[in-house]
Structure 1
Amino acid sequence: MLTIAAITMLGGACQWLAWRLRLPAILFLLITGIVAGPGVGWLNPDALMGDLLFPFVSLSVAIILFEGALTLKFSEIRGMQHVVRRFATSGVLVTWTVAALAARLIAGFDWGLAILFGAIMVVTGPTVIVPMLRTVRPTARIANILRWEGIVVDPIGALLAVLVFEFVVSTEAGGALSATILLFLGTIAIGTITGLAGGYLMGEALRRDWLPNYLFNVATLGAVFCCFAFSNAVAEESGLLAVTVMGIYLGNRKGVPIEEILAFKESLSLLLITVLFILLAARLDFAQLEALGWVVVGVFLAIQFIARPLKVMYCTWGSNIPWQERTLLAWIAPRGIVAAAVSALFALKLEQRGVDQAALLVPLTFVVIIGTVVLQSLTAGKLAAMLKVAEPEPAGFLILGANPLARKLAQALEQQKIRVLLCDTLWDNVSRARMAGLKAYYGNPLSEHAEVYLDTTGLGRMLAVTADAHLNALACNRYKGVFGAKDVFALRVGGTTGTNGRSDTAREGRTAFSDKVGYIDLSRRLYRGAEIRRTTLSEAFTMEHFRNMHGDHATLLFAIDPKGRLEVFSAENALEPGPGWAVMALIDSASEKTGGTAATDAEKASEPAAS
């Protein structure tokens, strides 16, 4: 019990450290597993879990692949179907061939084991691709190709490993090649049919409300387990293909509410990935690695610098993908949990059959996993930036509402080179925003249409500025899962309500600007001539001077630090900008000020109007 608790705690620490250092968590998970296992001998997964280790690994991989397959949308690869199809089919043969030749000619494996190693190496895997994409932030086209490849190729790699394993076994027993091919085709058929059937039944249950909402996650998890186990029982190792097909079917079927399932599966997948990498890395045997020697480096270099570039060259041949994106695609291909699990499984089966060098399959696979993860995670971000195929830091704003107040805020932000996208359900507001040169989405931000067509690329925060309190609150709840609770803001609509003076709408996010102002008040002041101005603070003109000058006739909106980063004033975040900062505020016109003092000429010079 203490060991299991320690594994989850260490895994959580690895995830936190990766978040702080902006590096893929797999890097720290592998290091932790190696140190805890063969390093100090504290963790022995086989002794800890016994016969349950590989069933646990298999079911965990099934959940991870299903969750990844749910996110695969055919609309994302429109125009790139032939490229993705090559990556997942014929392009696999390129990696398979080069990896098998490297294992045979460099590591000295016999042909059967070398071909098996090549089959395992065709996988890339969502467990390492998705975290790496979060860090690298490549263009949407690169990200979609890599995600599709990683998720679809994983079960294909497992099936190829089954094919080679059965071929090796049948050859030793004097079996025929035709029997192996028939077994392979049968495995594909069983996995595909089982996945489609499971997806259809689960889709019907979700669409027709056969289940209450609180049972969606439990029922889906049970369906995935049953689909995986049944398929494997009928045809060995077809379960991964079955759950992948099931996920793709559900993810692309209209009318299936998969949002809640996705949120649950993402959290579950993160936990399983964290535990699995530590457990499998802890099984690494330094003695076996030492037996291989330095030839493992040659195998890794062949896979990284020959196999991957050749595959990308073949798969993108004749496409309109620019050379910069092809270069990044040729660099990113880390191996993940499926490679580790499949190699461990078949190495154990071959060892039981007395196959020579079978024990060396796992350490060689882990060298490739560690090598690709370490090299690519440390360099892919810099390479993407150098090639100019990385998306900008998500610092832009999604502003809900395209009314006059929202348009004025958007113009002020764009003057500071901040990307803004407005969203409104009224065509008149959207039309006026577009005529003012602002980007605007026409539709409900909570709709399924917005899920597909509302482009949040480069956006890192949401600001709800509408007269509908309920829409503001629902939008905060919806988009805190996209941007994070700290980066979701809602402007109050009317006056202060409740005994605590808190916002009536922003409980799911933060109260924008102040809990003393609302949409009605700011819109009225804007109509009367108030302007959004930027003021640069200094030693001679501090925040205190600014407040003394304007009093209640200025509402602080945004603050910009000396490095150019923009912060939002809110009721929960008491900013106190200092010298070198700039503040943006809605300031009443001179005719509206009663008891205030007009701005000095020096201050006016530092406060250009936002309009």
Structure 2
Amino acid sequence: MMALSLDFLSLPLLAAAALVFASVLAGLFSARLGFSFLLVFLIAGLLAGEDGPGGLRFDDFRLSFWVGNVALAVILLDGGLRTEQATFRTGLRPSLLLATLGVVLCAGITGAAAHWLLALDWPRALLLGAIVGSTDAAAVFALLKNSGVRLNERVAATLEIESGMNDPMAVYLTLALIGVALSAQDASQAGVLAWLQSFVLQFGLGALLGIGGGWALAELLRRVQSRFDTGDGVLALLLVSGGLAVFAFTTWAGGSGFLAVYVLGVVVGNRAKQAVAPALAAMDGYAWLAQAGMFLLLGLLATPGQVANTFWPALGLAVVLMAVARPLSVALCLWPFHFTRREIAYIAWVGLRGAVPIVLAMFPLMAGVEGAQIFFNVALVVVLASLLLQGSTIALAARRLGLALPDPDDTAHTRQVFGDFALAAHTPLSDLCAFYNLPPPADAHLSTAQWLTATLNRPPVVGDAMRLGNAELSVREMDDGHITRIGIRLLED
């Protein structure tokens, strides 16, 4: 009688566990050196793949597509749970414009570069632009949290909300342009109308089901926490399973599951804060597991030998995306909201590309678009370039642009940013000008906080500053959207 062999289970499990363990360990060291934690997982997958020392052959695009979508849903849910409703005051409107018009502009400029650099016809070039056109929620959430830099509310909120909301637009554009590439025909008027109807359905249904599902899940969590002695892990399981259920149902119904699960996270996180707070640690673990599994699997799926054939044109496309397409689209979208040049430059630079372009590159492969392998190869190069160049310089760029706010205990940096003096926000500006011998403006009858708010011409955040004569007045402290303390720095003539 032959004994049952479990080699089919133990050997793949050993390889997978060892790969994740080594990647996590290497990631801890790479993070201290300033490199993206996520980059290590992707490189580990490449090294373990068929062209690397590991020699593992893996080409299951269907499984990778399934895992990638589920992982992105978990990551967006986690990001939504951590998005404070108060940040909508400064970040919602610019984020919405970046997540819609910004993605379209970025995709169009990148598509034009792809047409020239890779000699693709216009439908496939624009499809490639759509694939790499959106920032990646996993990369942005993870790298901003681990960068060690404290950004002002306007910049941080805009980056986080945009990265959570632009994936649906990228998915929509990718699916629409796949249809154009397969038909190889110009869009007719009827086709444009169908696109608009699909857009309204996807985003309208996604937002509606996300809000409705979030409200129901928040009520359920509050009742469960009040009636049962549940552990943090149970609450996290309810969150993940509920979020994935809404994601799947919305997608099946024809809406944007990615938008729905992010909106659900925002609603639940703000309506049921007491129930969600204990579960955030476990949710963080789920999100990291999703990111690790997704990047490892995508690295295994890639074949560096094939990537080498289009490496230099793909690298050129990455440069156009980082240096032209993203900055131009960000500048055009944020100009109406009175962002400073330094803020626009930083938001443009933190347009990180992660797993989303690689997952989107599987769409044309599975749809049977001719020559679709090139999308996957180019997306891989773009992601590697973005994580290496942009991901490793998030903290450095914030400091160089003067956008890093001081820690409360860092007295030297606090004085450097806000100046040596502080005063109450209700201090009359006329008294301040008389005391420091500053030229009084026309509206000197206002309080200093009122003058700052009116002059900034945008919702104020900690770190905002305006010059008045030979002094710089800055927002030092705020409470519930109102300025409470102001810093003063006297400048040399």
TM-score normalised by the chain length of structure 1 = 0.60
1:139 — aligned with what?
A: 151
Tell me whether 1:299 sits opposite 2:317 in the alignment.
yes
Question: 2:46·2:303 contact (CA, 8 Å) conserved in 1?
Answer: no
**Deviation of 1:62 (Å):** 0.7
Aligned pairs for 1:202-601 within 5 A: 202-209=217-224, 212=228, 213-214=230-231, 215-235=234-254, 238-253=256-271, 257-343=275-361, 345-350=362-367, 353=368, 355-392=369-406, 394=407, 396=409
Percent identity reads 26
Pairing partner for 2:33 from 1, 21, 25: 21
Unaligned runs of 5+ in 2: 1-12, 417-460, 464-493
Tell me whether 1:195 sits opposite 2:210 in the alignment.
yes
2:175 — aligned with what?
A: 162
Pairing partner for 2:24 from 3, 7, 12: 12
Check 1:105–1:136 CA distance in 2 against 1; reply closer, same or farther (3 A cut).
farther
1:105 — aligned with what?
A: 116
Whole-angstrom CA distance in 2 between matches of 1:288 and 1:68? 34
**Deviation of 1:372 (Å):** 1.1
**Deviation of 1:27 (Å):** 2.4
Whole-angstrom CA distance in 2 between matches of 1:6 and 1:254? 38
**Deviation of 1:416 (Å):** 12
**Deviation of 1:289 (Å):** 1.8
The 3-state SS of whatever aligns with 2:335 is: coil
Whole-angstrom CA distance in 2 between matches of 1:382 and 1:12? 24
Check 1:17–1:216 CA distance in 2 against 1; reply closer, same or farther (3 A cut).
same
Whole-angstrom CA distance in 1 between matches of 2:412 and 2:240? 48
Unaligned runs of 5+ in 1: 398-413, 420-454, 458-611
Greater fraction of residues in helix: 2
Deviation string, structure 1 residues 588-611 (Cα, Å, up to 9, x no partner): xxxxxxxxxxxxxxxxxxxxxxxx
**Deviation of 1:31 (Å):** 2.1
The 3-state SS of whatever aligns with 1:160 is: helix
Q: AA paired with 1:162?
A: L
The 3-state SS of whatever aligns with 1:89 is: helix
Tell me whether 1:148 sits opposite 2:161 in the alignment.
yes
Whole-angstrom CA distance in 2 between matches of 1:221 and 1:416? 40
Whole-angstrom CA distance in 1 between matches of 2:205 and 2:87? 28
Question: 2:318·2:381 contact (CA, 8 Å) conserved in 1?
Answer: yes
Q: AA paired with 2:217?
A: M
2:471 — aligned with what?
A: none
Whole-angstrom CA distance in 2 between matches of 1:51 and 1:383? 38
Check 1:416–1:292 CA distance in 2 against 1; reply closer, same or farther (3 A cut).
closer
The 3-state SS of whatever aligns with 1:356 is: coil
The 3-state SS of whatever aligns with 2:147 is: helix
Whole-angstrom CA distance in 1 between matches of 2:175 and 2:155? 30
> Please, which moves more after superposition, 325-334 or 79-88?
79-88
Deviation string, structure 1 residues 542-572 (Cα, Å, up to 9, x no partner): xxxxxxxxxxxxxxxxxxxxxxxxxxxxxxx
Deviation string, structure 1 residues 193-231 (Cα, Å, up to 9, x no partner): 322222122011012337733332222221122112222
**Deviation of 1:80 (Å):** 4.4
Whole-angstrom CA distance in 2 between matches of 1:6 and 1:456? 45
**Deviation of 1:5 (Å):** 0.9
The 3-state SS of whatever aligns with 2:59 is: helix
**Deviation of 1:174 (Å):** 10
Which of the pair has the greater relative contact order for Cα pairs under 8 Å at 6+ separation?
2
Whole-angstrom CA distance in 2 between matches of 1:418 and 1:367? 43
1:434 — aligned with what?
A: none
> Please, which moves more after superposition, 358-367 or 273-282?
273-282
Check 1:5–1:418 CA distance in 2 against 1; reply closer, same or farther (3 A cut).
farther
Q: AA paired with 1:207?
A: R
The 3-state SS of whatever aligns with 1:241 is: helix
Check 1:84–1:216 CA distance in 2 against 1; reply closer, same or farther (3 A cut).
same
**Deviation of 1:342 (Å):** 1.5
Deviation string, structure 1 residues 469-509 (Cα, Å, up to 9, x no partner): xxxxxxxxxxxxxxxxxxxxxxxxxxxxxxxxxxxxxxxxx
How many pairs does the alignment contain? 398
**Deviation of 1:63 (Å):** 0.5
Deviation string, structure 1 residues 444-476 (Cα, Å, up to 9, x no partner): xxxxxxxxxxx999xxxxxxxxxxxxxxxxxxx
**Deviation of 1:146 (Å):** 1.2
**Deviation of 1:269 (Å):** 0.5
